Each structure stands twice: as C-alpha cells, then as structure tokens.
Structure 1
Amino acid sequence: MMWLVTFLACIGLICAEEPFNHKVHNGRVIGGHDAKPNTWRWQVSMQYDSYNDNSYYHICGGSLIDAFHIMTAAHCIMSMDPSLYRVVVGEYNMYNYDGSEQFLRVERIVVHPGWNGDLGKGNDIAILRLADPVYDNGYVAIAELPYPGETLPHGFTCTITGWGLIDYMGNVPAILQEAPLDVVEHSVCSQYDWWGSVALETMVCAGGDGAISGCQGDSGGPLSCYTNGAWRVHGVVSYGPAGMCNQYKKPTVFTRVSSFLDWIFSVINSA
C-alpha cells in the first residue's frame, strides 16, 4: 500500500507541474480536440511563479465559482503563499494575448481540512480567493454547480477541458482542449481491476476506454456535465494512472463536487 500511495502522489495527473529546466505551458487533454472559443467560460488557468520573479507558468486548471473564488484541486497547491500564484480567466490560446484574458492576483488559499496529501483518501479540493473580482467582459461565466449529493448514472457523458499534457512526452499545443468522458459508476470504478479501494464515493470516475483521458496539467480543472438544464461542474480533476494517462480501466478520477458543497459555500461565505 505504501508503494501505491507514492504512486498516487507523484505520477500522472496527480502532481501539479513542478518547475524544471524549462518553462512551458502544459499541453492538452489526451484524445481531445480544440475547444471552440468562448465556450467553457468558467475554465481558468492557475499559474505559479516559482522564482518570485513575475514569470508565471500554467500548473493546473480550475473553475470560476463566483466573482472572487476559484475551485481547484488541493494537490495543485505547491505553496501556501498566495503571492506566488495568479489566475487567468478568459484564457483560450496560452501563447497569444487575445484581449479576452483577465490576470488576477490570489489573496487567500483555503485547502480542505480533510486533505492530507494522500489522493486515495480524497478531499482533493481547494478554494482560491482573488484579490480583485472578475468582471464580465463577455468571455467569463460563473460555473453552475450540481445539487447536494447528486450523482451521475453509469455511462453519462460529460466533458473534460484543460491544457494538460497530450502524452508522457509532453507535447504542448496551446489551445484549450475538450473531450467527452463517460462516467464510470462507483460500483465499477472501485473493482479491483479498475481503481479498487482508492476510488471513493466522494469521487467521480470518467473514461477508462484507453483512448481519452485527462493528464498532467489538467489537474484542478472541471468535469462539466449537462444536467438539469445547464452545464454544471460535477468534478475537479484529481488523479490518473502512471505513465500514459489514457489506460484501459484506469479512468480519470475527479473530486465529486456534490459531496463538498457545504464546505465550498462555507469558505465563500466566510470571506
């Protein structure tokens, strides 16, 4: 089990992009395609300045959940110093400035109190409070959220979006990617030849066909599902398999947003 914990903590989707010998924006959802501009308007890019020299690079995705707050994954938090982060909303092409972007400083970071660094224990969720509010420039939208405790049926098709790696070699197309992922219900995802005991009921599994998946750099980003007449963020990208991210019976695993609504709103209201 200790090996599994190490495996989950450091490989695949799990880790935010650590700084290394070059600064590049991460690539795309594996098996995805370019999203249409101005479609997934609650998607954000979470960026980090590892040398504190105003040189930011993408590490994770996130979702805009009100004018001041971003929802992301707890494992994306590489430092509790908010000055090292910025959030970009209205982003589409990482390499171009299109005039749709807003670059926002982070004022406060709140990590779920149940997060202990072990992805198999869940609670992989965090909220960033922005120093200034997002304004409606026509390229942003506040994410709709699911109902408390809401679950999705097996085979329900959702969409993953992000700028995560296309493969383990690190190809890096700059445009926001999207791909369909079918939900794998907990009774299946928790089977021993799928994710076993590290798939909890507070998580959503989606994918596992061996072709389409999230990957490193997608972490923290949304799983958007059309339910009850609206696109809603049902999941926060949490973990996936080692090596190639798109492995058969190893779906992308998301923090289930409907399990954490009380905590999310308590953080927002405390501000």
Structure 2
Amino acid sequence: MHICLCLSLKSLLLLSAAVPNITQPRSRIVGGSPAPPGSWPWLVNLQLDGGLMCGGVLVDSSWVVTAAHSAAVRVFGRLFKQFISQSVLFNPKTFNNDIALVELTSPAVLSEHVTPVCLPSGMEPPTGSPCLVAGWGSIYEDGPSADVVMEAKVPLLPQSTCKSTLGKELVTNTMLCAGYLSGGIDSCQGDSGGPLIYQDRLSGRFQLYGITSWGDGCGEKGKPGVYTRVSAFSDWIQAEIQSEFQLISLIKPSENKYMLCGVLS
C-alpha cells in the first residue's frame, strides 16, 4: 500500500519569493510506471482543500523540502506566520534557488511507510548515475492527475550538456539536469517540488539529490528536466532544522529505527 502523507503546516521557510517564458514548472508524469508499494516513504503530497498543489520530500519528522515556485508555497506563505527570506533569494523569473522548507504543525509519525530521506553527503554522484523521480502528476500532456504514485528512472547529465541544450544563461550552479536527450522520459515524471533520488552505492541509503523545478516542454527531444541542486542548500536546510530544535527543550535522541534516513523497510 502507499501512504499519502498529506500535511498540516506550521511555517514556511524560503530562500526568498510569474512564471518565466521558458522555465515552466513541472506538474505531470510522462513515460513512468506505478511505483512499487512502500518504495517512496518520504514522498509528500501537499494539498489545499483536498486538491494536489505540489510534491514535497520529508527530510526530518517535522520538515518538508519543496520547490519555492510551487502554488503551495505561494498560498502557505500568505496563510502561515513564518516566512523567512535569506540572503540568497529565489528568483521567480529564472527559477534560481528554487527551494523552500515547510515546517509541519506536528511531527509526522514515522513508520515503515513514513521515513525521511537523507540529504546529500560526500562526493556528488558521477554523470550518468541513475536517479528516480516520482509524483502524482498526469501521465500525459494536459491529462488528469494519477491516482497512484508514478516513478521513472533518469540519468544525471553533465552540466555542460545541461547548459548547451537549455541555454547557459538559464542554467545556474544551483541547478542540475537529468533525463534522456532522446526525450520521452524526463523531469515531467515528478510534480513540482518532488524528489530526484539517488541511492548511494556504499551505504545503500537514498539521498535527495534534486527537487523537481522546471523544463522546456515535457519529455521533448533534447530538453532534459531541470532540478534544484539540493547539495547547494544542505547547510541551510540543516541550520534551519537545528535552529528550530534549539527553541525547544532538547530530549534524548529517539530510539525509533525509522529516524534513520534513506532506508526502505
């Protein structure tokens, strides 16, 4: 079974806060297949009034990472108190720094079906490494949303290829590309704010390498999907989570085995 993690939000943290002509937000799954039950315990479905707004990724029992451009961020930014702008701002025209942190009203109850994913650590995966994307987006252009989690495997592309295919002025160092230059399968497989996941070869744990951000078309030849490079923001994410912990009385580390990130039961 798939557990839909639909969350109540306490606060929103942005590296900021119109959609540009070419950088179109991602919202549909094309070329993917239904995900095996229990394979995405960190995938979050951010909803408003029961309707999907965007995807997200659980990185801690109380925190979700998503895309700064998503509709959920715009709405929740008006509804919730904490809206923090950092020195490096999200640019809504270029989608640079397209990342946001959402704090839950109460911590998610961790289990074999609900666990956080790991943040990137160590060396970045080599070009060509297989990654996974997932979401509830529609399975064809302008189609309805999927009833189940859809996933697809996409390879990481060289930054030089990313810039040459999409335009060097559009692809910044906080972005990365993944997908097939032949088209058919790319970042359209994930909802905006959803994860690009890489499984570390040594530890076997799953790491959040990218956040589904934008692209030129959907699954088109020579137009790979673009993701926010999470490693560029790992320190910021960890600092925000830790600063919140310091506002409350600290307790002993949990013995809950599901606190281990990036592990599938």
TM-score (norm 1): 0.74
Partner of 2:64: 70
SS in 2 for 1:75: coil
CA distance in 2 between counterparts of 1:111 and 1:170 reads 35
SS in 2 for 1:39: coil
Partner of 1:59: 53
Partner of 2:185: 212
CA distance in 2 between counterparts of 1:222 and 1:216 reads 10
SS in 2 for 1:74: coil
Partner of 2:161: 188
CA distance in 2 between counterparts of 1:200 and 1:124 reads 11
Shift of 1:109: 5.1
The residue type equivalent to 1:248 in the other structure is: K
Please say if residues 32 and 189 of structure 2, whose CA atoms lie closer than 8 Å, have aligned partners that are also in contact: no
Give the 3 Å change call, closer, same or farther, for CA 259–180 of structure 1 in structure 2: same
CA distance in 2 between counterparts of 1:68 and 1:110 reads 17
CA distance in 2 between counterparts of 1:143 and 1:190 reads 28
Partner of 2:221: 248
Partner of 2:21: 7
Shift of 1:138: 2.5
CA distance in 2 between counterparts of 1:158 and 1:261 reads 19
Give the 3 Å change call, closer, same or farther, for CA 267–184 of structure 1 in structure 2: same
Q: What do residues 6-63 of structure 1 show as CA deviations (whole Å, max 9, x unaligned)?
A: 3145x351xxxxxxxxxxxx7x521000001111111110112xxxxxx231111111
- Superposed CA RMSD in Å reads 2.3
Please say if residues 145 and 234 of structure 1, whose CA atoms lie closer than 8 Å, have aligned partners that are also in contact: yes
CA distance in 1 between counterparts of 2:125 and 2:112 reads 30
The residue type equivalent to 1:68 in the other structure is: S
Structure 2, unmatched stretches of 5+, are 1-18, 245-265
The residue type equivalent to 1:165 in the other structure is: S
SS in 1 for 2:208: strand
CA distance in 2 between counterparts of 1:123 and 1:170 reads 29
Q: What do residues 53-88 of structure 1 show as CA deviations (whole Å, max 9, x unaligned)?
A: xx23111111101111000000011221345xxxxx
Shift of 1:260: 0.6
Please say if residues 25 and 192 of structure 2, whose CA atoms lie closer than 8 Å, have aligned partners that are also in contact: no
SS in 2 for 1:253: strand
CA distance in 2 between counterparts of 1:216 and 1:119 reads 21
Q: What do residues 115-158 of structure 1 show as CA deviations (whole Å, max 9, x unaligned)?
A: 131235x110000001100112321111111116x433221110
Shift of 1:110: 4.8
Partner of 1:16: none
Q: What do residues 204-252 of structure 1 show as CA deviations (whole Å, max 9, x unaligned)?
A: 200033110233871101001112421111000110113xx10112111
The residue type equivalent to 2:78 in the other structure is: D
The residue type equivalent to 1:262 in the other structure is: D
Partner of 2:208: 233
TM-score (norm 2): 0.76
Please say if residues 62 and 108 of structure 2, whose CA atoms lie closer than 8 Å, have aligned partners that are also in contact: yes
CA distance in 1 between counterparts of 2:184 and 2:85 reads 32
Partner of 1:116: 91
CA distance in 2 between counterparts of 1:39 and 1:217 reads 15
CA distance in 2 between counterparts of 1:232 and 1:111 reads 26
Alignment of 1:1-271 (within 5 A): 6-8=20-22, 11-13=24-26, 29-48=29-48, 55-76=49-70, 77-79=73-75, 80-82=77-79, 108=82, 110=84, 113-120=88-95, 122-147=96-121, 150-191=123-164, 193-207=165-179, 208-215=181-188, 218-227=191-200, 228-229=202-203, 230-242=205-217, 245-271=218-244
CA distance in 1 between counterparts of 2:194 and 2:155 reads 17
Please say if residues 186 and 225 of structure 2, whose CA atoms lie closer than 8 Å, have aligned partners that are also in contact: yes
CA distance in 2 between counterparts of 1:212 and 1:234 reads 18
CA distance in 2 between counterparts of 1:217 and 1:257 reads 16
SS in 1 for 2:106: coil
